[in-house]
Structure 1
């Protein structure tokens, strides 16, 4: 059977399910077929296309670059089939799947999700860090990913949807809390609650404080804006977060001069542009056309 024939047959659906699970046992159970039968389907598909679709890393199975491309194609095909059936039977609009971090879901796009839901759109959420969100997007498991800091690669579409100043959060009784703004060197000697080493926010903060010659101590390492602020409220130490983060009583946020704004990007693959339009409509384009990046496809039509 030719590669095109297989792409139009059951093997494509089987590979889509396998790509979601990255596990033959789980995928076979989801497809209600035997594991050997699924192995045969995937092997014949790889042979027909002339590429390797997955590889083993110890006990883990990972998709090759070709496998990621095929998984996205398979997911898009499944999505188009689902949309056709919904239109045929006059069903509601398709589910919108969003991959984003906890902070972005709570403070950056929460209201946009609420507005889309009020219009009758069902939203599914994948809580994921930057790498996992982009992986879900590229494999077709998510329609839209929301990421912070740097824009994504040019293989996808992206729009900047928000930018926030970084603020020092500390107790209202602290001497720095009375200021309208602090400089990086004002943080000298502080105990700080920070994300774990290696997180983008931590790396950027480490670099900025080092360049400014600031001496500081790690009071605690926790993941997530909400936990950073929570520990600051408990008196463990001060923290630096995005200006969009809500604060409990007793804390004050003071803008930090010398730290860059944290930018947030909504990103999608061109085949899903029509699915993400209504969520993107909730945001004002940041910086106009100059902030929109294209890879050959159009901005979601209005």
Structure 2
């Protein structure tokens, strides 16, 4: 038994391991106890709390809402124990785990991560889309998520860290490339490289072009700002991205009048505020 084990309540720690695997056999093996013993621990914990912690869906085990909340609390407790032990032995600051998309990591928060790293902070990254990033935060797998478009829900804290105009990206030789600005109507008849159906950026773009009565064609569907721009550079079609995205030689970005700015939010659960504060400070608006 190590120092971390002594600082964590045994039933809570056991449930945290079970919640991670959603499997009694695997969790019991990791905890070095029998499967019946683990069943008893979790059953007693649920009875003491007066809630159901998991349920069966066919052969699968899924956590209830209360189980999800307790799993996040268990992970917080484990991390706080680890952080305390590091501080006790004068080790480095706790690792900061960030969930974000590739574009946000590269063009929105890349410099902030670099500055934090130069100050000795270790950073772990989870590459995830909006839904997966928010799930990583609410489940306790990530300390901080970076998401675009709409602000996250009330179950987490959040602040806006950036906003960028949307731009039309096309080759230097295209007639629209010489414009200082284009309107939605100017996209009539264009072949566009767009994200797959269902992605937030695609939904917003579809709605805006439909409302403006603009007819256009799908040239290709790919996920990620970098791939959208790459295919535009290959001449597959024009694309619409946010203004922070870097462009290769031969492409031009023209601001689009009529599309809203794309906003980025940093979001975290209140118990992790102290852990994420130094990164928030890099955006100039941390409190």
Aligned position for 1:144: 144
Deviation, 1:36, is 4.1
- The alignment's TM-score, normalised by the length of structure 1, stands at 0.88
State how 1:125-204 maps to structure 2 within 5 Å.
Answer: 125-204=125-204
SS of residue paired to 2:61 = strand
Aligned position for 2:261: 261
Distance 1:174 1:33, change over 3 A: farther
Cα deviation digits, residues 196-223 of structure 1 (max 9, x gap):
1111100000000000000001111111
| 1:74 maps to 2:74 | yes
SS of residue paired to 1:189 = coil
Structure 2: segments with no counterpart, 5+ residues = 1-6
Aligned position for 2:109: 109
Q: Distance in 1 between matches of 2:58 and 2:204?
A: 33
Deviates further, 105-114 or 27-36: 27-36
Deviation, 1:76, is 1.5
Aligned position for 1:276: 276
Cα deviation digits, residues 232-259 of structure 1 (max 9, x gap):
1111111101111111111111111100
Cα deviation digits, residues 23-44 of structure 1 (max 9, x gap):
3344334334444443333233
Deviation, 1:15, is 1.5
Q: How many residues align?
A: 281
Q: Distance in 1 between matches of 2:25 and 2:201?
A: 38
Aligned position for 1:11: 11
Distance 1:144 1:127, change over 3 A: same
> What is the RMSD computed on CA atoms of the aligned residues?
1.7
Deviation, 1:115, is 0.8
Deviation, 1:20, is 2.5
Q: Distance in 1 between matches of 2:122 and 2:60?
A: 33
